[in-house]
Amino acid sequence: MSNETSIPKGATVTLSFVEGDLMVGSHATVKGEESSSPVKVSGTIYCEGNNIFDCSLSAAGLEAEGNIKIRGDLEVKNNIEVSDGYLEVDGNVSAASIEADEALVVHGKLESEGIDVGGSLRVDGDVKAESIDVGGSFRAKGEIHAEDVDVGGSLEAEARVQLGSLSVGGTARVGGGKIREIDAGGCFESSAPLEFEDIEVGGAVSLAGKSKGDRIEVGGTLRVQGDLEFREIDVGGKIDISGSAAGEELEVGGKISVNGALKLSGDLEVGGKAEVSGEIEAENIEVGGVLRSKKVQTQNHIEVGGRIATDEGATARFIEIGKRGEAKGTLRADEIIVGKDAHVEDVYGKRILLRNGAHARNVYGEEITVESECRIEGEILYVNELRASSQVAFAKQPQKVNTLPF
């Protein structure tokens, strides 16, 4: 049978080394022989609660019912279990696993394979763990290194993090770093560059510049303070990028604003408005409302339901301007369709169709069809064929030419 040392309820005892287990009554205090001397226990410490260890402490295990305060470091070989209370440590903590019902507060560093806290976890130093599970809030001033972090409420990490997966029921804020998978019910924010594979957030995402990742899916808003590299973005509401962005696919239900260039190897789909200060490159572009950019260039098609405005024009294989739409800037494509009652400026194409009531400044094409009640304010030049309704207003007589001024 192992040795057992007991400390009565409410007593204050000075110790150095305990062979075997240590039983500590409620409201008892344990001190080291000197102010800087640790207390070492070869077995497990059992606490009845509301205990103070006015020293650094090491043991094989620690079990407590109620609150525990340690004014030094805590080193436990096996497990720490605190039920119906909290554990607060002024120094560093290391253990194989830690469980605390109410709270765990560590003013130094924290290292454990598994950390499970029912209420709140607060760490002033660095955190290193395999898994961290917190029912309420998690606050860390130092770096966090963990494979899996699951927080029911909120996460606040002031420094860099390196995580395999992060799941947060509410809001998560980190100081940059690397996270493979992010799942947040509310909001996610990184104040420094972040590398990621997958971000899925119900509310809003805010990233710092030079962030790089694979997939972003956001129900509400995506904001980036700087440049962003990605593979796929799907946002239900709004995207705001203060720098440039490069990726494969981008879809937004509302509005996208990019202060630099937007380069995509795949498709751009915007339900509302797209405003890009620089150039847009994509395979296909579909915008339900307004598209504004310095220059637009696609490998295949551009479809705009409302208005397109460019400084240096739009180029594609196929361009369509919707009914009552408008185009400011030159349109160049193999095939161009200008919708009913739409207004465009200069149009260059192989096959051009102006539907009923469309207005254009200049039209240059190989084959041109102009429906009734259209109006051409400048010139119209064609190479092969012009089919025009008798009810078309030409400012100048159409001319057949051998080559177009492309």
| All residues at 6 or more sequence positions from 40 whose CB lies less than 8 Å from its CB, including other chains | 16, 17, 18, 57, 58, 59
Residue pointed to by tokens 């590398």? 195
Q: How far is CA 398 from CA 232, 281, 350, 370, in A?
A: 46, 34, 16, 11
Q: Quote the tokens at residue 283.
A: 């395979």
Q: Which DSSP string corresponds to 136-186?
A: SEEEESS-EEEEEEEESSEEEE-S-EEEEEEEESSEEEE-SEEEEEEEESS
Q: What is the pLDDT of residue 34?
A: 83
Q: What is the pLDDT of residue 2?
A: 57
Q: What is the pLDDT of residue 1?
A: 43
Q: Is residue 350 classed exposed, middle or buried when 0-12, 13-18 and 19+ CB atoms within 10 A define those classes?
A: middle
- Along the 406 residues of the chain, how does pLDDT read in single tens digits? 458 999 999 999 999 999 999 999 999 999 998 877 899 999 999 999 999 999 999 999 999 999 999 999 999 999 999 999 999 999 999 999 999 999 999 999 999 999 999 999 999 999 999 999 999 999 999 999 999 999 999 999 999 999 999 999 999 999 999 999 999 999 999 999 999 999 999 999 999 989 999 999 999 999 999 999 999 999 999 999 999 999 999 999 999 999 999 999 999 999 999 999 999 999 999 999 999 999 999 999 999 999 999 999 999 999 999 999 999 999 999 999 999 999 999 999 999 999 999 999 999 999 999 999 999 999 999 999 999 988 898 999 999 999 988 7
Each domain of the chain, given as residue ranges in start order, spans 1-105
Q: Which DSSP string corresponds to 352-386?
A: EEE-TT-EESEEEEEEEEE-TT-EESS-EEEEEEE
Per DSSP, 343 falls in state: B
Strands 21-24, 326-328: parallel, antiparallel or unpaired by DSSP? unpaired
Q: Which long-range contacts (CB under 8 A, 24 or more apart) does 241-244 make?
A: 242/209, 243/209, 244/278
Q: What is the pLDDT of residue 88?
A: 98
Model pTM score: 0.91
Q: What is the pLDDT of residue 91?
A: 97
Which of 261, 286, 278 shows the shortest CA–CA distance to 312?
Answer: 278
